[in-house]
Structure 1
Amino acid sequence: MSDHGSTAPLDGVSFVMPVLNERAYLEHAVASVLRQQLEVPAELVLALGPSTDGTTELAQRLAADDDRIRLVDNPAAHIPVGLNRAIRASRYSTVIRVDAHSELSSGYAARALETLERTGSANVGGVMRAEGRTPFQKAVARLYNSPIGLGGGAYHGGATEGEAESAYLGVMRRDVLDEVGLFDETIRRGEDWELNLRIRRAGHRVWFDPRLSVTYWPRESWLRLARQFRATGAWRGELVRRYGRRNGIRYFAPPVLVLLLGLAIVVGILQLTGMLDGIASLVASAVYLPVAAYALLDVAVALAPGGGSIRQRLWTLAVLPTMHLSWGIGFIGGVLSGARDTVDASRLGTRNTPLP
């Protein structure tokens, strides 16, 4: 393990990957890293959380078969802690973050290094292209790739290269990471956005290159998806508490939907019980309009061309409001009381469907 406090990183690439309960995905993710063709030395550092599904044993076997793979422990299991442990253990001057639920496209690393050099940026990212296997996962993936699903961030399908607010995963200069202090370990979700904020505040550039593509496999079940989005929303709420309006306006749409739906329920109860009638009831009924419009949007998205099989379209009807409402509920809680110890409980599950 290198001591970067006294030794400068060597010229090369360190891929870093936090791993927890990813037996069904890890081997494919690792293979996509090891297939990258580079003219400089490379390594893959896996930060292993306390998995319960055999992931650790699989990682050990993979490391035994390829000396480019190195293992570090991440007993806390939290993503930013694991990333920092992997980065501190890494040896090279460029750090590429990868995820066990993702697969790098061919040539990804080489193109990223070229973009990093060409633009003089500190961090470069590309497009996250979600894919699925089951009708449920395909429905989730379609919404991930849609501006309606996740709000239109550049890395969900942008086509124009240029400076960006954040970067998906990220190809980063190690000296800049050391300068700004690595990932904030008090943030459990949204740690990449916060890191990129500090990078930009320090006068460096974050860059989006649509030629860079990463395949992402979403959660496999409705409950795991809801847990993931509630946790992500809670931590975005925490980031709003810390950084206020520096958060984009799109992050406020799901909590507004939650508040409107809650208000519509209250108005409906008051009308049914006769506590609200007459002109007041008529005026209050206006709250149903945006809720009805959202319901029509949900149906339109499910019926739109490219929606897949009937089962996938039915799942779309359930997945879109699940994503928005779970995220919005988490966001409101995060803003009001902070995210505290909220974790992505979906990562703790052990039932995964193996990749083909």
Structure 2
Amino acid sequence: MLSVICPIYNEEKYIRKCIDSILSQDYPYNDMEVLFVDGMSTDRTRNIVSEYTKQYSHIRLIDNPHKIVPCAMNIGIRASKGDVIIRLDAHASYQPDYFSVLYRYSCELRVENVGVVCRTDVLNKTPKTLAIREVLSNKFGVGNSAFRTGINQIMAVDTVPFGCWPRSVFDRYGLYDERLIRNQDIELNKRIKHGGGKIVIVPDTYCTYLARETFSGLAKNNFGNGKWNILTVYYTRQLQSLSLRHFIPLIFLVLLILPIFVSFIWLPLGWVSILSIVGYLFAIGIISGMLAHRKGLHFGYLLWSFIVLHLSYGWGSLCGLGLVIFNKKIGI
């Protein structure tokens, strides 16, 4: 029995594409249940899922009054019946062999978590959204995560998007940490690895994540990611809950800002910030120019996408650091 759990909240724009890709799976319906755990959506998400539950007995809709993803996953895990559990995201669609490949490798490799490459795409293709998509798939934009940049062989990794676990993993390592609004998958995978478990990524199939299509949406999402990198460490009291790459945007932003403040004491240090900014703009300008030429994309949109991604992520981490330092006054 395979249990598929998908946390949802106000996903009416994406949910049909997600469910239709689930229904196209080559895994037999009789050996599968699909649980959509809804954070009490206020748009048409619940109505759309309910349409499918009336047609397909293996699809269920479950309430998540706490609204956040880790609570949804824990509710789904407790309600599920499967020997193997797969976590999905409603912002994504899945290849027809997605479930069968993950299930097969989970059984064959006998590891604690199996994942695949997550390709980035956009629902509506315009010069702006295609530039955002490219930046979110580029190493200079998102780092060297194997699940983002692609693989051609089975690899041991620190984390994978979503995941496929034997049910026994949650008995051994615990459920999702419900304090974490973001990074809950990363934290769980780190907990598994530090406990001696293995996480692998396999090349045989993939999923497609549908990214935000506006610069404001890109900034908001990555601000939250950056902030919760710091808060994840704060709540878990373990720096090893994350990897160094998660803090690079914060380090970059601090190295830009700090010399500006110090320059009020010693003026020449202000040139460090100026040179850093010029060097950064030159670097992403070269990369944006190469991508624009090679792939026929809009240079200005590429350049701005890099800037929005890096600065919003770094600013989010800086604000998260402020929350931690002044938590007695602000309250986390």
| TM-score, scaled relative to structure 1 | 0.84
Shift of the 263–201 alpha-carbon distance from structure 1 to 2, 3 Å rule, reads closer
Q: Which runs of 5+ in 2 are unaligned?
A: none
Match of 1:155 in 2: 147
Q: How many residue pairs were aligned?
A: 322
Whole-Å Cα distance in 2 between the matches of residues 228 and 284 of structure 1?
31
- Structure 2 residue 29 is the aligned partner of structure 1 residue 16: no
Kindly state the Cα deviation for residue 216 of structure 1 after the two structures are TM-superposed: 0.6
Q: Are 1:264 and 1:288, in contact at CA under 8 Å, matched by a contact in 2?
A: no
- Structure 2 residue 50 is the aligned partner of structure 1 residue 55: no
- Structure 2 residue 93 is the aligned partner of structure 1 residue 103: yes
Match of 1:332 in 2: 318
Give the match's secondary structure for 1:92.
Answer: coil
- Structure 2 residue 257 is the aligned partner of structure 1 residue 262: yes
Shift of the 37–338 alpha-carbon distance from structure 1 to 2, 3 Å rule, reads farther
CA RMSD of aligned residues (A): 2.4
Q: Are 1:135 and 1:309, in contact at CA under 8 Å, matched by a contact in 2?
A: no
Kindly state the Cα deviation for residue 283 of structure 1 after the two structures are TM-superposed: 5.0
State the identity as a percent. Answer: 27
Match of 2:107 in 1: 117
Shift of the 313–235 alpha-carbon distance from structure 1 to 2, 3 Å rule, reads same
Q: Are 1:240 and 1:335, in contact at CA under 8 Å, matched by a contact in 2?
A: no
Whole-Å Cα distance in 2 between the matches of residues 114 and 35 of structure 1?
18
Q: Which runs of 5+ in 1 are unaligned?
A: 1-11, 344-356
Match of 1:139 in 2: 131
Q: Are 1:80 and 1:188, in contact at CA under 8 Å, matched by a contact in 2?
A: yes
Task: Write the deviation string for residues 303-354 of structure 1: whole angstroms up to 9, x where unpaired.
Answer: 12366555x43222111111111111111222342498999xxxxxxxxxxx
Match of 2:248 in 1: 253
| TM-score, scaled relative to structure 2 | 0.89
Match of 1:77 in 2: 67
Letter in 2 for 1:136: K
Kindly state the Cα deviation for residue 184 of structure 1 after the two structures are TM-superposed: 0.7
Task: Write the deviation string for residues 154-208 of structure 1: whole angstroms up to 9, x where unpaired.
Answer: 1112324221111111011111123222111110100001111121233221111
Whole-Å Cα distance in 1 between the matches of residues 257 and 273 of structure 2?
10
Q: Of the candidates 12, 33, 39, which is equivalent to residue 22 of structure 2?
A: 33
Task: Write the deviation string for residues 222-250 of structure 1: whole angstroms up to 9, x where unpaired.
Answer: 21221111111111112233212453221
Shift of the 106–179 alpha-carbon distance from structure 1 to 2, 3 Å rule, reads same
Match of 1:351 in 2: none
Q: Of the candidates 284, 288, 291, which is equivalent to residue 298 of structure 1?
A: 284
Whole-Å Cα distance in 1 between the matches of residues 290 and 36 of structure 2?
40
Kindly state the Cα deviation for residue 264 of structure 1 after the two structures are TM-superposed: 5.6
Letter in 2 for 1:287: S
Q: Are 1:230 and 1:329, in contact at CA under 8 Å, matched by a contact in 2?
A: yes
Letter in 2 for 1:170: G
Letter in 2 for 1:236: N
Shift of the 234–34 alpha-carbon distance from structure 1 to 2, 3 Å rule, reads same
